[in-house]
Amino acid sequence: MHKKPRTSIGKKIVYTALVIVLIISVFVGVYAYSLMNNPDYITLGVGETHTLTPRESDYKVRSYNAGIITPSAGSAVVANTPGDAVVCVKYTYFDRDFYRFKVIDAPKSVTLKKNELTLGEGESYKLNAQCSTLSHDFTVSYASSDESIVKVSENGYVTALKSGECTITASSYNGKSDSCQITVKKAPHSLKLSKSSVTLGEGETLTLTPVFQKDEYAYDITFTSSDESVATISDNTLTATGTGECTITAKPYNDVTATCKVTVNKMAQTLSLVVLDKYDVDSLIRVVTDIEKGYSAYNIDISVSDESVLKIDEKNKKLLHPQKQGECTITATLQNGVTASKTVTIGDYSNGKINLSSLNQFPSLPTGCEAVALTSVLNYYGEDVSMHTMVEKYMPIKKYDYFSVSPHDYFLGTPYSFETGMGCFSGCIVKTANNYFRDKNIDDYYAMDITGCSTDELYNYLSNGVPVITWVTSSFVTPTVDGRWTVNGETITWCNHEHCLVTTGYDKASGNVTVADNSGGYSYSVSMSQYEKVFKGMGSMAVVVLKK
């Protein structure tokens, strides 16, 4: 009988080693398999809590880097310090899930895209919140101070419910926050654009701004062009792309629309400035630019060579305010780079006198003083035209039902009668002059409405030899209101003894102003104080004709 040979100690060691390797291999395989199923890091900020989702109810949570990630109650873990960590959820010895974590610094601030916002009722907007740590998008919670006015979703979409004001607050897990004040107005029932029509030169741009009724608003406006070969629009920036006409339509979130008619001509290639040679330091400079017929240029930038001498008005760049005596060059620049310049002198001027022959409106034009004053100025510039031709051929007249129109647009009634004639305002005289220039193909004169000007500005034209068509009263009596009416939202105020004449001179030393009066065809002087009182009382209405 043979005995079974005893297993050598060496073989036992080998077998044990193989078993250990096999166990380690299985463990590593399970670990690798788990990581393959969870290939991405879970990123947390210091102090942030994350809840794992175990597959079974019986489990244990273990962290292999407890200083970085620490298990908390249940399946929750808490981030302690920046670094990388692995967390294991153990079900059985061989059944485990592994999670990879990256812990970064906690956010130091939360910033919303907007801190103030106005919406219309029913309008929505996405408030994007961003934490200071740009490498990771931390979860941000949102809250509304009044959910009856604005409600907010968990991802930051706000919806305006009714008119009012409220605050939306975005907060991070560690208490950092930012807020947005939201004003809700009524949904727009009507809408206009800042321009209902506009003419541009090719390549020019223009910002179209929506104009709402009081207490109405819409944040989101969609703009479209009827012909993008003529003009395109992005957001509210209009760009002229080619000659022609098109319509820009603006539409908010509801069904209201507004339009702007756009005409695009060839871009101007020449430019000239219409300004006087000298200006009093107490005056105002109105910059007029001129381009050739058939071309257009909407955007014209005005600059000055010395801002200590001339200051550009903040609201209207074509108005310049003299600051001190001296010389300064005014430059106008088109969007395509074309420029025009003129040097003007700023001084201290105290008088001016123009030799202008006054016409007599009587007896044929008893209420036609405005047309007669314009005619006398055109005659002064060498134009051979009669006051009757001016009335009959060039002046816009509303003979009947004239309270339905504005005296800025028409002569009210007939200038041939005291009983059925009233008069007109400065806008009508500018139209009359331009009708004449257009008919006669005159390009070197320009009629400008300077209503609202100061008497210092008016006197400055006289210093430069430019007569001023001026609205005063007969015999310079103190103006009193005769009546008021409304035309298309404009309140018209008509004064007793309304009269128009030509101011031809002034002298600060003597304190007198000289006028050429059509009601008799003669010139006389009036005290500067009475002249200024009546001129201002009549609304400071005046028109000048300038030679280009």
What is the tens place of the pLDDT at every residue in 189-241?
999 999 999 999 999 999 999 999 999 999 999 999 999 999 999 989 999 99
Distance CA 85, CA 70 (A): 10
User: What confidence category does residue 27 fall into, taking pLDDT thresholds of 50, 70 and 90?
Assistant: low
Which pair of tokens denotes residue 455? 């008497």
The set of residues, in sequence order, having a beta carbon less than 8 Å from that of 403 and lying 6+ positions away, is 412, 485, 487
d(CA 464, CA 283): 12
Closest CA to 96 of 26, 19, 42: 26
Report how far residue 482's alpha carbon sits from residue 490's, in angstroms, rounded to the nearest whole number: 17
pLDDT above 90 for 353: yes
Q: 């990581």: which residue's tokens? A: 35
The rounded distance, in Å, linking the Cα atoms of 59 and 50 is 17
Q: How far apart are CA 148 and CA 292, in angstroms?
A: 59
Phi, psi of 344 (to 5 degrees): -115, 160
pLDDT at residue 40, rounded to an integer: 73
Q: How far apart are the first and last CA of the chain?
A: 139
pTM: 0.73
d(CA 212, CA 471): 36
Q: Which pLDDT value is given to residue 179?
A: 97
Asked if residues 246 and 230 have their Cβ atoms less than 8 Å apart, the reply is yes
Q: Cα separations (Å) of 538 from 82, 469, 492, 515, 524?
A: 78, 13, 12, 16, 20
Contact in structure between 206 and 300 (CB atoms under 8 Å): no
**Residues facing residue 412 across a β-bridge:** 398, 423
pLDDT in tens, 396-415: 999 999 999 999 999 999 99
- Rounded to 5 degrees, what angle do the CA atoms 419, 534, 470 make? 70
CA distances from 299 to 198, 200, 201, 202, 268 (A): 11, 8, 9, 11, 11
DSSP states of 229-251:
TTEEEETTEEEE-SSEEEEEEEE
For residue range 230-275, what is the model confidence (pLDDT) as tens digits? 999 998 999 999 999 999 999 999 989 999 999 999 999 999 999 9
Position 132 confidence tier, pLDDT thresholds 50, 70, 90: confident
Virtual torsion, Cα 471, 474, 475, 479, nearest 10 deg: -70
Q: Which residues, including other chains, have CB under 8 Å from residue 525's CB and lie 6 or more apart?
A: 512, 513, 514, 515
pLDDT band at residue 1 under the 50/70/90 scheme: very low
- Domains of the chain (ranges plus CATH)? 9-104 (2.60.40.1080), 110-185 (2.60.40.1080), 191-267 (2.60.40.1080), 272-347 (2.60.40.1080), 351-547 (3.90.70.10)
pLDDT beyond 60 at 36: no
- Tokens representing residue 480 in the block: 């009193």
Other beta carbons less than 10 A from residue 481's beta carbon: 10
- Total length of the chain: 548
Q: CA–CA separation, 447 vs 141, rounded Å?
A: 63
Least Cα distance to 395 among 385, 404, 382 occurs for: 385
User: Both tokens of residue 253?
Assistant: 């979130």
Indicate the pairing of strand 42-45 with strand 258-267. unpaired
Whether the per-residue pLDDT at 31 is higher than 90: the answer is no
- Write down the pLDDT at residue 26: 54
Single out the residue of 488, 457, 445, 452 nearest to residue 471, CA to CA. 452
Lowest mean pLDDT among 15-29, 270-284, 368-382, 455-469: 15-29
In DSSP notation, 61-107 reads EEESSTTTEEE-STTEEEE-SSEEEEEEEESSSS-EEEEEEEEEPPP
Residue with tokens 């339509």: 249
The neighbour count for residue 122, using CB atoms within 10 Å, is 15
Can you spell out the DSSP letters for 426-454?
A: HHHHHHHHHHHHHHTT--SEEEEE-TT--
181 touches 201 (CB < 8 A): no
Give the pLDDT confidence score for residue 293 in this predicted structure.
87
Quote the mean pLDDT of the chain: 92
pLDDT at 93: 81
- pLDDT (0 to 100) of residue 333: 97
At 3 the pLDDT is 47
Asked whether the beta carbons of 107 and 174 are under 8 A apart, the reply is yes
**Mean of the pLDDT values across residues 114-142?**
89
Tell me, rounded to whole angstroms, the distance of Cα 392 from its chain centroid. Answer: 43
pLDDT digits (tens, 9 = 90+) for 433-448: 999 999 999 999 999 9
